[in-house]
Amino acid sequence: MSALPVTSHRSFSPSRVLAICSITLLELIRLKVFYILLLFSVAIIGSSLLMVDLTFQEEFQMLKDVSLGAMSIFTWLLAVLPTALLLPKDTEDRTLYTILAKPVGRFEYLLGKLLGVLCMVAIATVLMTAVSYVVLYVHEQSVIHSTARLVPPEQVQAATDSIRAAAFGVNLLPGVAVLYCKAALCAALTLFISTFSSSWIFTVSISVCVYLIGHVQSVARDAMQMKHPMGDAPLWNSLFLLVVTVFFPDLHIFSLVDDLAVGTPAPPLLIAEACGLGLAYTCGYLLLAYLMFAWKEL
């Protein structure tokens, strides 16, 4: 047996993180999480078939809304459910011991696991976007062909342009990117919860609560920031608003697709800021997860 040269240990190694990331991605693929994409396809193709008696503008608007709404819920599910299972499964199978008994830092382990989930969510997001585009394109072509038969030849171009304007456009892509950032935030948050949670059901439940409260956090923040927020309201009311504002993320900021789908233009700088906020949250929750996991007794 040849002796391997002893290398000096680096406290952070991208190759170790990459190894854990790829195995996590592979594990998730083997768990058949992408079957959820079939559900997604059924949801949007099914909804496109149900829309009869509506104008083509209404049909396109609803198809876009259903696609983006489904994308929003599926990216969230794909981010939260597998993440909630990561630590309990590795602990139960003792793969956690085998991995951490190697010269792998706990931060590297957590980062690798999170990146694995995020890669899977990224693949799913790209596929869902592609399915949405295809369904809308097919629908668009069918509307264009049927309209061309009904309008005088000189109006065909104008009609085609207005149909194209109503269908899925590239203006929705920034919204999809922000949806992805929101899913990343939720995955990191779930990872943080799972570092102190006793079961994955508890993790998912807390994650769902944070998701729901996160969407109305801005209401609490606005109320808190009003000059005279509650008048004579008791102290605990203000305290409650403060707790919600400080401890919960504002997920409403990441819900841009509703407005993008109806043609509200997205300023690139604002989109970048929203993505940056999502990334900052993801890093923050990862840091918190590390704080809890670094001293966890396995």
Told to check if 142 binds another protein by CB under 8 A, we report no
Our finding on whether 6 is near another protein (CB under 8 A) is yes
| Angle separating helix axes 235-247 and 200-225, nearest 10 degrees | 120
Shortest distance in whole angstroms from residue 21 CB to another protein: 11
Residue 54, C-beta contacts closer than 8 angstroms, at least 6 positions apart: 62
Is residue 236 involved in binding another protein (CB under 8 A)? no
Please answer whether residues 172 and 256 qualify as being in contact, where contact means their C-beta atoms are separated by less than 8 angstroms.
no
* Residue among 239 and 298 whose Cβ is closer to another protein: 298
Nearest approach, Cβ of residue 37 and another protein (Å):
19
Q: Which stretch binds another protein (CB under 8 A): 132-140, 148-156, 232-240, 280-288?
A: 280-288
Q: 84-113: which residues touch another protein (CB under 8 A)?
A: 93-95, 97-105
- Residue 224 and residue 216 in contact, taking contact as beta carbons nearer than 8 Å: no
Closest approach, Cβ 148 to another protein, in A, equals 22
Burial (CB < 10 A; 0-12, 13-18, 19+), residue 104, is middle
User: Shortest distance, CB of residue 73 to another protein, whole angstroms?
Assistant: 7
What CA–CA distance (Å, rounded) separates 18 from 31? 20
- The residue within the footprint of another protein, chosen from 216, 223, 229, 237 (CB under 8 A), is 216
Residues 6+ apart with CB under 8 A from 10: none
Of 68-76, 79-87, 113-121, 127-135: span binding another protein (CB under 8 A):
68-76
The footprint of another protein on residues 146-205 (CB under 8 A) is 196
Integer-rounded Cα Rg, in Å, for the chain is 23
CB 251 within 8 A of CB 72: no
**295 makes contact with another protein (CB under 8 A):** yes
Beta strands in 49-141 (DSSP E): none
Q: Least distance (Å) from another protein to the CB of residue 262? A: 4
* Contact call for residue 228 and another protein (CB under 8 A): no
2 binds another protein (CB under 8 A): yes
Distance between CA atoms of residues 123 and 239, nearest Å: 41
- Is 37 a binding residue for another protein by CB under 8 A? The answer is no
CB of 156 to another protein, least distance (A): 18
DSSP 17-45: HHHHHHHHHHHHHHTTTTHHHHHHHHHHH
**Distance of closest approach, residue 16 Cβ to another protein, in angstroms:** 6
Among 7, 35, 231, 234, binds another protein (CB under 8 A): 7
> Are the CB atoms for 83 and 190 separated by under 8 Å?
yes
Rule CB under 8 A: which of 256-275 touch another protein?
256-259, 261-267, 270, 273-274
Near another protein by CB under 8 A: residue from 128, 251, 282, 286: 251
Residues contacting residue 86 through CB under 8 Å, at least 6 positions apart:
24, 113, 117, 191, 194
Which residue of 183, 277, 282, 286 would you call a contact of another protein, by CB under 8 A? Answer: 277
Q: Which two tokens stand for residue 20?
A: 């854990």
Options 41, 147, 202, 215; binder of another protein; rule CB under 8 A: 215
